[in-house]
Structures are given as C-alpha cells and as structure tokens.
C-alpha cells in the first residue's frame, strides 16, 4: 500500500486567555501545552503504522510515567471489527465470517465517527530510555492558505518499525486495533483524528480522564424518548435485544399517552427527557422500569411491532 506523505489538517484554537493562569511544571511532566490542536482524516492502517499505545502497568516502575491507556483488550477490538464490517445488530448475530442470505437485509454501516485522540511527538522527545529519531518525526507546515503534516520518508517502507513511533494514542486504541493488517477489504477506511503536538504526559492523562471517566452516560429518559423513531426499523426488530426493546417500547407508548392526554392524572407531570427540574413527579426512565417490571410479561412468544 502506498501513502500520501502530506496530509491536510485543520487548525483549531480552543485556548482561552483565562487559562493562562493554569499551573504548569515542566519537571513534573506538565509543561505548557500548545494552544492549538489539529483535526485530520487518515487511513486506519496508516495511523496504526505510525502510532503506539503506552498502556499503564501495575507492576511497572513509575520513575518515568509514559503510559495512560488501559491494557489492550483483543476481544473488544474484535467486537469493533465485526461491527465495522457488518453493522448492528448483525455484528452480534451468527457466524462472524459470513453473512447468511436470510440475514443480509440486516447489514448496516459500521460507522466510527468518534475521533481518535492522539499526541504527535516532536524532535528530541524521550519515551522511556529512547529518543525519537529525527527521521521518524512528523513535521507540521503552514502557509497563508493551509496547514498540513508531512510524514516520515520511510513510511513507504514495509519494514519501517521505529523504536519510538511519532504518534501516541491517547484515546481510541481499541478502535484502531480493530483493523487487521491482513484484511485488505478495509484498507481504505478513514478515521477522524484530533492531534495535539508535544503534549506532556500529565495533560494526556487529564484528557483520557475527562473523555473516559468523567462524562455521564446519556440520560435514560432521553434514550427512551428516541424509541418512537427507532421502533419502525427492521434491524432493531430483529436484534438480540428485541424482547427487552419490545417491552420498553410498549411501556414508552403508554407513558407518552399518560403524559400528553389532558385528562390524564399524569398530564405534564412526567419528566420525559430526564431534565433537572423540580416540577416533575417522576422521570420517564423510572416510569418505564416500574411499568415493565409490574405489568408487561417477561416472555414474549411473538413480537409484533404493528400493534
């Protein structure tokens, strides 16, 4: 496979003046970060070739911190690989290597729109006891009209395997490792990347934490509110979760009527989106859980979404 050494990038400035007082400590792995990051698209096999993940190890010496990622879980990457080729719900059904004729209508796109977050190493960067070689560095260029990165000359060499690769993956390792080097059918799949330059290890840890640990999951009430849109789709009807979805969908329909019917005792008293307001009696998610547990049968012999 041949690669284009020059990749156009979009420069993004998210630095606010009020952040200028954020404490820094170069000796403690927290040198001042650059004020810009860059967004670009790159073929997955190429990104995989250029990058390395430094997982944290409980038994490793901590004098030099270089790892912030969780250990790679091959099973998780395999799940993503199946989803990539087959979409949902087909990726969780039947033989993973073939698509039976009776299931071909369930194939859906395996989109991966979430960005890979990366750090691009600069000249003289040290990782562990090794320093990145000058010839392995990715260079950033710009003029009045555009910005671009230029990849190392040796990237075209199939044997190129630098001791210190020029890209570190901060978030997205399992998506990246879902791409098998031997599977040429997905060589052209591109991944969106947000890349920082020369981002110190403590900033990487901070990003990883805010991306993976701090965010709350989607509010359940909001998820249930999407059911009227999703329930008419055949791929959802025939998914492995159909029985639960069927029950929750029926419960959601009942609650929608109770909430919207003006003579209902629950009129405008159900928090349909799980918003933080005090004038609601109960959230839609709580209502659905109780309705399903109390009034809807656990086993469903035949699912009919036309009711």
Three-state SS sequence of 33-74: CCCEEEEEEEEHHHHHHHEECCECCCCCCCCCCCCCECCCCH
Least confident range from 19-33, 100-114, 162-176, 293-307: namely: 293-307
Neighbours of 170 (CB within 10 A): 26
Asked if the model's pLDDT at residue 113 lies above 70, the reply is: yes
Q: Distance between CA 36 and CA 195 in Å, rounded?
A: 9
Place 95 in a pLDDT band, splitting at 50, 70 and 90: low
- pTM of the entire structure? 0.72
172-213 tens-digit pLDDT: 988 998 987 777 888 899 999 999 999 998 899 889 888 877
If you ran DSSP here, which 8-state letter would residue 279 be given?
S
Q: Distance between CA 176 and CA 169 in Å, rounded?
A: 9
Least confident range from 24-38, 61-75, 109-123, 175-189: namely: 61-75
Asked if the model's pLDDT at residue 273 lies above 70, the reply is: yes
Residue with tokens 């003289």: 124
Asked if the model's pLDDT at residue 303 lies above 50, the reply is: no
Asked if the model's pLDDT at residue 30 lies above 90, the reply is: no
Beta strands in the chain (DSSP E): 6-13, 36-43, 51-52, 116-120, 126-127, 130-131, 139-142, 147-150, 167-171, 190-197, 270-271, 282-283
In this prediction, residue 280 carries a pLDDT of: 72
Percent above pLDDT 70 for the chain: 75
In this prediction, residue 143 carries a pLDDT of: 94
In this prediction, residue 270 carries a pLDDT of: 86
Asked if the model's pLDDT at residue 12 lies above 80, the reply is: yes
Which neighbouring-strand residues pair with 8? 148
Q: For all residues of the chain together, what is the average pLDDT? A: 81
| Extents of the domains making up the chain | 6-212, 220-295
Q: Distance between CA 62 and CA 73 in Å, rounded?
A: 23
Place 114 in a pLDDT band, splitting at 50, 70 and 90: very high
Q: Distance between CA 145 and CA 125 in Å, rounded?
A: 29
- The arithmetic mean of pLDDT across residues 86-115, rounded, is 82
Beta-carbon-side half-sphere exposure of residue 177 (alpha carbons within 13 Å)? 16
Asked if the model's pLDDT at residue 16 lies above 90, the reply is: yes
Higher local confidence (pLDDT), 34 or 306: 34
Place 60 in a pLDDT band, splitting at 50, 70 and 90: very low
Q: List Cα–Cα distances, 69 to 52, 77, 172, 174, 255, in angstroms.
A: 11, 15, 9, 10, 42
In this prediction, residue 59 carries a pLDDT of: 42
Higher local confidence (pLDDT), 218 or 251: 251
Give CA 115 to chain center in angstroms.
6
Backbone angles phi, psi at 82, to 5 degrees: -65, -40
Neighbours of 51 (CB within 10 A): 21
125-181 tens-digit pLDDT: 998 889 999 999 999 999 989 999 999 999 989 899 999 999 999 999 889 989 877
Backbone CA torsion sign across 165, 170, 174, 179: negative
- The arithmetic mean of pLDDT across residues 277-302, rounded, is 71
Q: Distance between CA 105 and CA 232 in Å, rounded?
A: 15
């Amino acid at each position: 496979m041949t690669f284009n050494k020059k990749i156009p990038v979009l420069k993004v400035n998210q630095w606010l003046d009020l952040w200028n007082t954020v404490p820094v400590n170069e000796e403690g792995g927290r040198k001042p970060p650059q004020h810009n990051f860059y967004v670009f698209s790159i073929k997955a096999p190429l990104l995989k070739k250029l990058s390395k993940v430094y997982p944290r190890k409980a038994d490793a010496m901590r004098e030099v911190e270089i790892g912030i990622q969780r250990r790679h879980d091959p099973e998780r990457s395999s799940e993503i690989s199946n989803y990539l080729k087959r979409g949902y719900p087909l990726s969780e059904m039947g033989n993973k290597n073939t698509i039976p004729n009776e299931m071909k209508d369930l194939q859906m796109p395996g989109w991966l729109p979430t960005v890979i977050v990366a750090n691009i190493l600069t000249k003289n960067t040290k990782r562990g006891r090794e320093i990145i070689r000058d010839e392995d560095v990715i260079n950033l260029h710009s003029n009045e009209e555009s910005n671009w990165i230029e990849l190392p000359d040796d990237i075209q060499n199939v044997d190129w395997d630098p001791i210190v690769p020029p890209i570190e993956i901060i978030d997205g390792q399992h998506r990246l490792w879902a791409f098998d080097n031997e599977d040429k059918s997905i060589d052209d799949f591109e991944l969106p990347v947000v890349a920082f330059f020369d981002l110190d290890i403590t900033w990487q840890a901070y990003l990883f934490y805010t991306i993976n640990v701090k965010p709350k999951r989607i509010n359940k009430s909001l998820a249930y509110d999407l059911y009227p849109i999703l329930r008419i789709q055949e791929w959802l009807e025939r998914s492995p979760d159909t029985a639960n979805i069927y029950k929750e969908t029926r419960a959601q329909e009942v609650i929608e009527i109770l909430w919207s019917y003006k003579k209902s005792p629950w009129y405008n008293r159900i928090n349909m989106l799980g918003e933080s307001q005090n004038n609601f009696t109960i959230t839609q998610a709580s209502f659905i859980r109780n309705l399903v547990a109390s009034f809807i049968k656990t086993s469903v012999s035949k699912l009919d979404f036309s009711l």
